[in-house]
């Protein structure tokens, strides 16, 4: 065909690849492996450009390494449980399973239309019992090891919807959906003890050398390790002690008041009778304010005095005990020693309520802070202690060590390490998720701690439901309404019992799916440990940076657990992480319905074909960078492929030319262009610099066009090779046109199954300097090497020349003569 018509060729190649099983992993057992993975999608029905880009990054890489001879694993699956399908069901009564299946079908069709190279034999769907039974299995293993537990925690309870709602849905104490009052309610929930791994997860970050620094530092902050001390302040006139947590025990002599969280358990005990009314009112007000609002930037600091006093453990001096909005009960010990001279927050609070300010750390510069109320702002840096008894004159760091040691020796405190990270509460009042495999039996388990379902009874399947009756969005968790399911028998006594009606957070599903791909139908365990030894860790993982601290932390935690369970040998799931940038609309705003700037992948594929869509998206910028959509550049990508097509068609008569050399003049130029292109594109792909790889191919195309038609047998043979090389370098990016061209030039296999040829080093050097190559003083060859080439480079290129090799064959080298920028001479005999 004279004209480039992608619609006429792309479907054909997709079918052929599929039928031939070209992308099956595990077919090259002795070869080195590459496991290339993109974050599995929530099947929302339609693909957007973010998906296109995400999958292309992995796809280009996967195709390239397949050509380099690797056994490549590149799987795809569905994060199929979750809220959108359930909310849609609440609206229109379509069962989430039905909706999800429809979405998967259409999403998969779109993936196919873009020519992605997935091993579909390993497809995983997290909403299938064969998958989620292993979530349940993990749950039970972790329960036995104390890594899963049941706790009570505060939730936002909407008195109208009769359900738990998220912090974001609470506006001024009322529900965003129905305007009813929202109350704090203590609810039981299931949690993973991820904090047991805080330090391990922190240390592991140091080994993740190929993760973006932005992501590892977000995880570091999220885990939030801080070294500090705990100290006991005795409550005056009572046997109680307030234990505070501080990172600045060196400031303890400057503590002028103590603050408890409003919900601290000692508040009721210490409050003086005459302060009772005011304190209770404040506590109630705080209970009605969400934590987010309490801590919001610029939130006013407020508090009340309890009427009680606590004794400084070092000075024995009494200081007033307050409660305030900015102290949280779930951080540290829920109690703070306040040092207004050295902490900004304490300083503001002291100013507002007229509490004393006492500097006890002086700047290391030797300058002296103004005393007391004259201090204009808190001095928050380390320095030298003053007015601190026997510790005066010590530097902050040293004082911290000594003060902590003293507390410890006296049994009144200790040095501590605290982490900001919280355990992961994972039970959800939803239908469309993994049932938690627990039953409650009043007889065997009066405290309702929960009895695990025996492993051999797994999976606990989601029941069939009357969608409209069960998925209403109101009241108890949906599964609690399914009497035939929720009522069961106790595995211990056989008496009546009730199932846990909450389901698991969908982040559980994505914690280990990368391992399920290794043996997706395995029925003995979540995955086959032998396969894990072959394939883990994932070599390259591509996804959105928005997952920095949830998914990307949770799956690191899960990987540690899988190792402890003897399932997998690795400490970390992923070697190299690539977080792709955003595709904005042509107006520079993130593509969104709201802005009306969305470009649907299907539209582009229909108009220009998948190869144009692929080439454009990969050319538009480095993977990690955002880019703005440009119709003009899409046109440009299409014109580029038309030129590829025209070039291939116009030279078709050279296909199959047999010629063995030598190559000189134009023929040599053609070959040099081809080998330089192989080198440049290969190196760029390995750096994930896909845009420069395509730029290299474009330059190559220009060079071939400029060289014009091939006339002599040498030129024809060189051109035939050059066009095969063009097909090779295009394969990762635009695989359909690549296979079409290669086939016309006599290829017997799919280009992706052909080896990515090694470039010939002699052909890639820059042509500035010609060298005469002599053997025993007789000219045997002329080579060209880069001006920067060293003596060793020139010698290597000369030795690699066929004619030089022939002249030296069977003889021993006696001497090597090197005349810079002129000639080399091999003296042999």
In the complex, the residues that contact ligand ANZ under the rule CB under 6 A are 226, 245-248, 251, 261, 326-328, 331-332, 334, 336-337, 339, 342-343, 418
Q: Please state the φ and ψ torsions of residue 613, each to the nearest 5 degrees.
A: -60, -45
C-beta of 441 vs 574, nearer to Zn ion:
441
Q: Which does 479 bind (CB under 5 to 8 A by kind): Zn ion, ligand ANZ, none?
A: none
Partner residues linked to 36 by β-bridges = 540
Rounded-to-integer distance, Cα 631 and Cα 586, Å: 8
CA distances from 778 to 664, 772, 775, 822, 827 (A): 20, 10, 5, 14, 10
Tell me the helix, strand and coil percentages in the chain, rounded to 5: 40, 20, 40
DSSP for 606-669, please give it: HHH-HHHHHHHHHHSS-TTS-EE--HHHHHHHHHHHHHHHHHHHHTGGGTT--------HHHHH
C-beta of 375 vs 458, nearer to ligand ANZ:
375
Q: Which does 444 bind (CB under 5 to 8 A by kind): ligand ANZ, Zn ion, none?
A: Zn ion
In the complex, least distance from residue 364 CB atom to ligand ANZ, rounded to whole angstroms: 15
Q: Which does 612 bind (CB under 5 to 8 A by kind): Zn ion, ligand ANZ, none?
A: none
Q: Which does 246 bind (CB under 5 to 8 A by kind): Zn ion, ligand ANZ, none?
A: ligand ANZ
Give CA 665 to chain center in angstroms. 51
For residue 593, say whether it is annotated as part of any ligand binding site: yes
CA distances from 75 to 64, 122, 124 (A): 16, 6, 9
Task: Report the 10 Å Cβ neighbour count for 475.
Answer: 12
In the complex, least distance from residue 150 CB atom to Zn ion, rounded to whole angstroms: 17
Rounded-to-integer distance, Cα 474 and Cα 454, Å: 31
Rounded-to-integer distance, Cα 343 and Cα 377, Å: 9
What one-character DSSP code corresponds to residue 114? T
User: Which of 20, 121, 364, 493 is close enough to bind Zn ion by CB under 5 A?
Assistant: 493
Half-sphere exposure of 676 (CA within 13 A, CB side): 22
Give CA 370 to chain center in angstroms. 49
CB 49 within 8 A of CB 591: yes
C-beta of 92 vs 442, nearer to Zn ion:
442
Task: Report the 10 Å Cβ neighbour count for 477.
Answer: 18
Q: Which does 443 bind (CB under 5 to 8 A by kind): Zn ion, ligand ANZ, none?
A: Zn ion
Q: Please state the φ and ψ torsions of residue 175, each to the nearest 5 degrees.
A: -80, 130
CA-nearest of 48, 74, 53, 54 to 62 is 74
Secondary element (H or E) of residue 682: helix 665-686
Q: What is the 3-state secondary structure (H, E, C) of 367-394?
A: CCCCCHHHCCCCCCCCCEECCCHHHCCC
C-beta of 420 vs 492, nearer to Zn ion:
492
C-beta of 111 vs 436, nearer to Zn ion:
436
C-beta of 319 vs 529, nearer to ligand ANZ:
319
Q: Which does 732 bind (CB under 5 to 8 A by kind): Zn ion, ligand ANZ, none?
A: none
Give CA 747 to chain center in angstroms. 39
Q: Which does 245 bind (CB under 5 to 8 A by kind): ligand ANZ, Zn ion, none?
A: ligand ANZ
Select the span of 123-131, 338-346, 385-393, 488-496 touching Zn ion (CB under 5 A). 488-496
Site for Zn ion in 441-460 (CB under 5 A): 441, 443-444
Tell me: cis bond preceding 419? Omega within 30 of 0 counts.
no
C-beta of 115 vs 437, nearer to Zn ion:
437
C-beta of 386 vs 488, nearer to ligand ANZ:
386
In the complex, least distance from residue 250 CB atom to ligand ANZ, rounded to whole angstroms: 8
In the complex, least distance from residue 111 CB atom to ligand ANZ, rounded to whole angstroms: 45
Q: Build a one-symbol-per-residue string for 197-236: x at contacts with Zn ion by CB under 5 A, - elsewhere.
A: ----------------------------------------
Q: Which does 337 bind (CB under 5 to 8 A by kind): ligand ANZ, Zn ion, none?
A: ligand ANZ
Burial 33-62, CB ≥16 within 10 A → b, else e: bbbbbbbbbbbeeebbbbbbbbbbbbbbbb
Select the span of 204-212, 492-500, 738-746, 767-775 touching Zn ion (CB under 5 A). 492-500
Q: Total number of residues binding Zn ion (CB under 5 A)?
A: 6
Q: Which does 424 bind (CB under 5 to 8 A by kind): ligand ANZ, Zn ion, none?
A: none
Q: Which does 226 bind (CB under 5 to 8 A by kind): ligand ANZ, Zn ion, none?
A: ligand ANZ
CB 232 within 8 A of CB 313: yes
User: Which of 39, 378, 490, 615 is close enough to bind Zn ion by CB under 5 A?
Assistant: 490
Half-sphere exposure of 800 (CA within 13 A, CB side): 16
Select the span of 33-41, 274-282, 491-499, 591-599 touching Zn ion (CB under 5 A). 491-499
In the complex, least distance from residue 289 CB atom to ligand ANZ, rounded to whole angstroms: 15
C-beta of 448 vs 639, nearer to Zn ion:
448
C-beta of 383 vs 477, nearer to ligand ANZ:
383
C-beta of 242 vs 339, nearer to ligand ANZ:
339
Task: Report the 10 Å Cβ neighbour count for 814.
Answer: 10
CB 104 within 8 A of CB 46: no
In the complex, least distance from residue 479 CB atom to Zn ion, rounded to whole angstroms: 20
Half-sphere exposure of 414 (CA within 13 A, CB side): 5
In the complex, least distance from residue 305 CB atom to Zn ion, rounded to whole angstroms: 51
Tell me: cis bond preceding 459? Omega within 30 of 0 counts.
yes
Rounded-to-integer distance, Cα 481 and Cα 465, Å: 10
C-beta of 444 vs 600, nearer to Zn ion:
444
In the complex, least distance from residue 151 CB atom to ligand ANZ, rounded to whole angstroms: 18
User: Which of 24, 48, 492, 589 is close enough to bind Zn ion by CB under 5 A?
Assistant: 492
Select the span of 318-326, 483-491, 545-553, 798-806 touching Zn ion (CB under 5 A). 483-491
In the complex, least distance from residue 226 CB atom to ligand ANZ, rounded to whole angstroms: 4
Q: Which does 86 bind (CB under 5 to 8 A by kind): ligand ANZ, Zn ion, none?
A: none
Query: Can residue 439 be called a binding residue for Zn ion (CB under 5 A)?
Result: no
Q: Which does 248 bind (CB under 5 to 8 A by kind): ligand ANZ, Zn ion, none?
A: ligand ANZ
Select the span of 127-135, 487-495, 548-556, 640-648 touching Zn ion (CB under 5 A). 487-495
Q: Which does 214 bind (CB under 5 to 8 A by kind): ligand ANZ, Zn ion, none?
A: none
Judge residue 743's burial from the number of C-beta atoms within 10 Å of its C-beta, 0-12 exposed, 13-18 middle, 19 or more buried: middle
For the record, the structure tokens of 363 come out as: 């700047």
C-beta of 306 vs 418, nearer to ligand ANZ:
418
Secondary element (H or E) of residue 67: helix 49-67
Select the span of 42-50, 405-413, 434-442, 719-727 touching Zn ion (CB under 5 A). 434-442
Rounded-to-integer distance, Cα 48 and Cα 601, Å: 6
In the complex, least distance from residue 420 CB atom to ligand ANZ, rounded to whole angstroms: 7
In the complex, least distance from residue 497 CB atom to Zn ion, rounded to whole angstroms: 6
In the complex, least distance from residue 328 CB atom to ligand ANZ, rounded to whole angstroms: 4
In the complex, least distance from residue 342 CB atom to ligand ANZ, rounded to whole angstroms: 3
C-beta of 208 vs 258, nearer to ligand ANZ:
258
In the complex, least distance from residue 591 CB atom to ligand ANZ, rounded to whole angstroms: 38
Binding-site residues: 593
**Binding positions for Zn ion, rule: CB under 5 A:** 441, 443-444, 490, 492-493
Binding-site residues for ATP: 593
């Amino acid at each position: 065909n004279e004209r480039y018509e992608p619609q006429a060729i792309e479907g054909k190649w997709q079918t052929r690849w599929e039928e031939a099983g070209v992308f099956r992993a595990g077919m090259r057992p002795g070869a080195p492996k590459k496991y290339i993975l993109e974050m599995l999608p929530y099947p929302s029905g339609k693909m957007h450009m973010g998906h296109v880009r995400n999958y292309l990054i992995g796809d280009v890489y996967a195709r390239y390494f397949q050509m380099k001879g690797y056994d490549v694993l590149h799987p795809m699956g569905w994060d199929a449980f979750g809220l959108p399908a359930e909310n849609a069901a609440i609206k229109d009564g379509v069962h989430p399973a039905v909706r999800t299946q429809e979405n998967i079908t259409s999403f998969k069709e779109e993936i196919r239309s873009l020519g992605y190279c997935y091993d579909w034999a390993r497809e995983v769907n997290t909403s299938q019992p064969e998958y989620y039974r292993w979530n349940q299995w993990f749950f039970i293993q972790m329960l036995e090891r104390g890594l899963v537990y049941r706790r009570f925690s505060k939730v936002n309870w909407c008195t109208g919807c009769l359900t738990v709602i998220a912090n974001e849905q609470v506006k001024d104490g009322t529900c965003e959906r129905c305007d009813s009052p929202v109350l704090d309610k203590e609810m039981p929930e299931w949690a993973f003890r991820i904090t047991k791994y805080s330090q391990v997860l922190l240390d592991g970050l140091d080994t993740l050398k190929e993760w973006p620094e932005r992501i590892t530092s977000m995880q570091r902050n999220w885990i939030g390790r801080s070294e500090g001390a705990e100290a006991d302040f005795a409550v005056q006139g009572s046997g109680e002690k307030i234990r505070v947590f501080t990172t600045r025990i060196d400031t303890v002599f400057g503590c002028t008041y103590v603050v408890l969280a409003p919900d601290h358990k000692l508040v009721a005990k210490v409050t003086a009778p005459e302060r009772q009314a005011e304190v209770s009112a404040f506590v109630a007000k705080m209970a009605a304010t969400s934590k987010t609002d309490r801590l919001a930037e610029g939130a006013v600091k407020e508090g009340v005095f309890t009427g009680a006093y606590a004794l400084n453990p070092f000075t024995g001096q009494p200081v007033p005990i307050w409660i305030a909005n900015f102290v949280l009960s779930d951080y540290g010990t829920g109690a703070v020693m306040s040092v207004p001279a050295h902490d900004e927050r304490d300083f503001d609070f002291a100013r507002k309520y007229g509490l004393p300010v006492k500097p006890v750390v002086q700047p290391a510069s030797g300058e002296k802070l103004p005393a007391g109320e004259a201090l204009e702002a808190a001095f928050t840096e380390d320095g030298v202690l003053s007015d601190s008894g026997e510790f005066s004159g010590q530097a902050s760091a040293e004082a911290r060590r000594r003060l902590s040691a003293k507390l410890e020796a006296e049994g009144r405190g200790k040095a501590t390490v605290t982490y900001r990270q919280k355990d992961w509460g994972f039970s959800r009042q939803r239908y469309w998720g993994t049932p938690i495999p627990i039953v409650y039996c009043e007889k065997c388990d009066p405290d309702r701690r929960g009895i695990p379902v025996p492993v051999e009874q797994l999976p606990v399947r989601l029941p069939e439901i009357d969608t409209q009756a069960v998925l209403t969005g109101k009241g108890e968790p949906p599964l609690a309404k399914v009497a035939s399911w929720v009522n069961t028998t106790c595995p211990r006594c056989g008496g009546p019992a009730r199932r846990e009606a909450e389901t698991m957070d969908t982040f559980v599903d994505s914690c280990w799916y990368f391992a399920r791909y290794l043996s997706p139908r395995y029925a003995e365990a979540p995955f086959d440990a032998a396969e894990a030894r072959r394939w883990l860790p994932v070599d390259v993982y591509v996804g959105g940076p928005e997952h920095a601290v949830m998914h990307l932390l949770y799956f690191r935690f899960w990987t540690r657990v899988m190792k402890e369970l003897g399932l997998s040998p690795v400490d970390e799931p992923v070697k190299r992480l690539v977080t792709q940038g955003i595709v904005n609309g042509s107006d520079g705003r993130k593509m969104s319905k709201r802005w009306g700037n969305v470009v649907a992948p299907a539209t582009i594929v229909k108009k220009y074909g998948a190869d144009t869509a692929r080439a454009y998206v990969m050319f538009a910028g480095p993977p990690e960078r955002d880019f703005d959509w440009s119709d003009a550049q899409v046109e440009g990508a299409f014109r580029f492929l038309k030129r590829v097509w025209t070039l291939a068609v116009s030279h078709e008569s050279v296909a199959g030319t047999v010629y063995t050399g030598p190559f000189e003049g134009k023929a040599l130029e053609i070959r040099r262009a081809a080998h330089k292109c192989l080198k440049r594109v290969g190196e760029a792909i390995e750096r994930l610099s896909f845009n420069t790889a395509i730029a290299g191919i474009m330059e190559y195309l220009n060079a071939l066009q400029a060289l014009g038609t091939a006339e002599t047998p040498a030129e024809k043979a060189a051109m035939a090779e050059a066009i095969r090389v063009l097909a090779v370098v295009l394969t990762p990016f635009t695989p359909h046109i690549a296979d079409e061209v290669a086939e016309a030039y006599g290829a017997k296999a799919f280009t992706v199954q052909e080896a990515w040829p090694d470039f010939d080093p002699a052909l890639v050097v820059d042509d500035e300097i010609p060298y005469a190559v002599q053997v025993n003083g007789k000219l045997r060859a002329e080579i060209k090497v880069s001006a920067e080439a060293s003596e060793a480079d020139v010698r290597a290129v000369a030795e690699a020349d066929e004619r030089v090799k022939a002249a030296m064959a069977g003889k021993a080298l006696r001497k090597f003569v090197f005349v810079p920028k002129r000639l080399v001479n091999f003296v042999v005999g």
